Structure 1
């Protein structure tokens, strides 16, 4: 198994699939997660091939684009077989992908391998901070969601069907997911990076509410 060749083929495959995707899950998201994953992998004792392949493929069968089916990994599995990845590695990659997403915090997303922890951290880091804010609004725009409605409060999800509820707005997503991610990082390096990105989101929300509620009488 020529791992370097497989990685290059995989980059081309994923870029072809996701380039130009408009919801924030595009090729550039994958590239950032890949770069973060390789950085975190340097700090940990992990299988770099599993980390890199998982980072590249983690959104190919994303449940948000598979008609809401959070268990489908058919495209990913077929691709891995087509480039002759060994079955043991395929099983590791698929297992990580199936338990990586936050999904409102209502499903099992605990990683039992260091490789899974690394890629999950990288994916979650790209969901917060300045990039995370931009991706949140991009995704909500693709779903025709309101930017903000102060009468609709953050939801307390109980089931995955609750998570898929369209009757929500973008700002609630910060409270339902993004502001929770800092405390869910697995590795010490990711925890350190998350602190700064978390604080940036808090500052953004402070400014957002200030501008939303602007009243010249208060000046």
Structure 2
């Protein structure tokens, strides 16, 4: 294993341990998928692979949902990487990415580098498709949010919060917010699947 691979493995182990108790679609399984997707996109678009892998692994290590509403991923990233043989410019780059990645911050986020855009695309793709459906249902079950309310049109953006409504309020907006062509191609397929699922779901309710 070369030095970069050793660092990646160490970060993987540390993040896996730190996120062991995080669930609701935001656990280490999510991080693994984002890491894999980010690497796939990088292979087609370029960018610094080492920075991309680190940022993908660390992007949710301090997720606000598990730290009393305070986003701490950049802080924890600096702590973790500071204990490893990673140079300061790389640490700063990774911290900037994870601090400006989340959907909730998109109105105030600073411009991302190519590496940051790739990781952000990979993160957003994980909210789409079959995995996206399961994550929505898991999260709703955790916070007591129903997937659907009888008589409510989920496409009504002013209606009550539901899992199905979340598709229209956020998830179906993600494709237009992606940066890279490979990500947009994946998103198109996954969004189509989700719409087919919703059509079938609403059809069965009407039977």
Tell me the TM-score normalized by structure 1: 0.85
The equivalent residue for 1:173 is: 166
Structure 1, residues 166-185: CA drift from partner, whole Å, max 9, x if none?
x7221111111100111111
In the comparison of the two structures, how many residue pairs are matched?
203
- Which stretch has the larger CA shift, 60-69 or 130-139? 60-69
Q: CA deviation at 1:56?
A: 0.5
* 1:129-208 alignment runs, 5 A limit: 129-149=129-149, 150=152, 153-155=156-158, 168-208=161-201
Question: In structure 2, do the counterparts of structure 1 residues 28 and 80 end up closer, same or farther at CA, with 3 Å as the change threshold?
Answer: same
For residues 155 and 15 of structure 1, the distance between their equivalents in structure 2, rounded to whole angstroms, comes to: 38
| SS of corresponding position for 1:61 | coil
Question: In structure 2, do the counterparts of structure 1 residues 15 and 155 end up closer, same or farther at CA, with 3 Å as the change threshold?
Answer: farther
Q: CA deviation at 1:74?
A: 2.3
For residues 133 and 53 of structure 1, the distance between their equivalents in structure 2, rounded to whole angstroms, comes to: 27
| SS of corresponding position for 2:174 | helix
Tell me the TM-score normalized by structure 2: 0.89
Structure 1, residues 127-177: CA drift from partner, whole Å, max 9, x if none?
100011101111111112122222784359xxxxxxxxxx72211111111
Structure 1, residues 79-128: CA drift from partner, whole Å, max 9, x if none?
1111132211111111111111112x762346431101110111111110
Structure 1, residues 36-55: CA drift from partner, whole Å, max 9, x if none?
11111111221000000000
Q: Retained in 1: the 8 A contact 2:61–2:73?
A: no
The equivalent residue for 1:212 is: 205
* Aligned residues: CA RMSD: 2.2
Q: Retained in 1: the 8 A contact 2:100–2:112?
A: no
Q: Retained in 2: the 8 A contact 1:96–1:111?
A: no
